[in-house]
Amino acid sequence: MATPEGPSTQRQSLVDVIIADHRAVDEVFGQLETGSGSDEHRRQLVEHVITELVRHSVAEEQYLYPAAREKLSDGDHVADREVEEHAEAEQLMKQLEATEEDDPEFDRMTGKLITDIRHHIEEEERDLLPRLSEACTADELDDLGKKVMMAKSSAPTRPHPTAPDTPPANMILDPGAGMIDRLRDALSGRNR
């Protein structure tokens, strides 16, 4: 049920939201790894996973990493490393978008993206999320979860490697880029 605060009144902690995103992306990775389906189907899966990864990354950069900077003694180091990994993945996703699905590079880059993102997910779930869970109250984690969900709803759907990736600039510019991306997606038929 929609509310003025967002799409749902159901409360989910930041950790629950992030892990649910991780599982959804990994499910698509599994489909890609089967190697089955037409070139067009593989392209659609890659476009879908890119959209989800971009939305997820934007939300993490707006809320998860600032929380880590605030709550963890080495939060700046942890957040900087995570943002750097996002930037590398975003460059790869941009290159992947520009590569034809029948080009051998398409499969190579898709495999690299899968490997890199799985490594990133493993690190976040093994280190950052448990540490943040200990450093934050349940209410703080629920509030961050709500903010991440809201950020994802207006986030860009395509990689923008040169866009700012830290607050406050990303929080100002990301919704506008998201609106333009969703318009481009609608006009091109992407992610239907």
pLDDT digits (tens, 9 = 90+) for 145-170: 999 999 999 887 787 776 666 665 56
Asked if the model's pLDDT at residue 4 lies above 70, the reply is no
Level-2 CATH architecture, domain 14-188: Up-down Bundle (1.20)
Calculate what percentage of the chain has a pLDDT beyond 90: 71
> Residue 130 carries which side chain, given as an amino acid letter?
P
Q: How confident is the model at residue 11 (pLDDT cuts 50, 70, 90)?
A: confident
Domain locations along the chain: 14-188
Is the model more confident about 37 or about 52? Answer: 52
Plot region of 38 (φ>0 → left; ψ -120 to 50 → alpha; else → beta) = beta
Find out whether the peptide bond into 164 is cis, omega within 30 degrees of 0. no
Range 167-188 average pLDDT? 64
pLDDT, averaged across the chain: 87
Residue 138: closest CA among 38, 42, 35, 15: 15
Q: How confident is the model at residue 55 (pLDDT cuts 50, 70, 90)?
A: very high
Please tell me the distance from the alpha carbon of residue 112 to that of residue 92, in angstroms, as a whole number: 8
Please tell me the distance from the alpha carbon of residue 52 to that of residue 111, in angstroms, as a whole number: 17
φ, ψ at 3 (rounded to 5°): -130, 165
Cβ 13 vs Cβ 145: under 8 Å: yes
Six token digits for residue 159:
């990689």
Please tell me the distance from the alpha carbon of residue 61 to that of residue 121, in angstroms, as a whole number: 15
> pTM of the entire structure?
0.86
DSSP assignment of 67-113: HHHHHSTTHHHHHHHHHHHHHHHHHHHHHHHTS-TTSHHHHHHHHHH
pLDDT value, residue 9: 47
Lowest mean pLDDT among 103-112, 124-133, 145-154, 177-186: 177-186
Asked if the model's pLDDT at residue 188 lies above 90, the reply is no
The one-character DSSP state at 139 is: H
pLDDT in tens, 13-28: 999 999 999 999 999 9
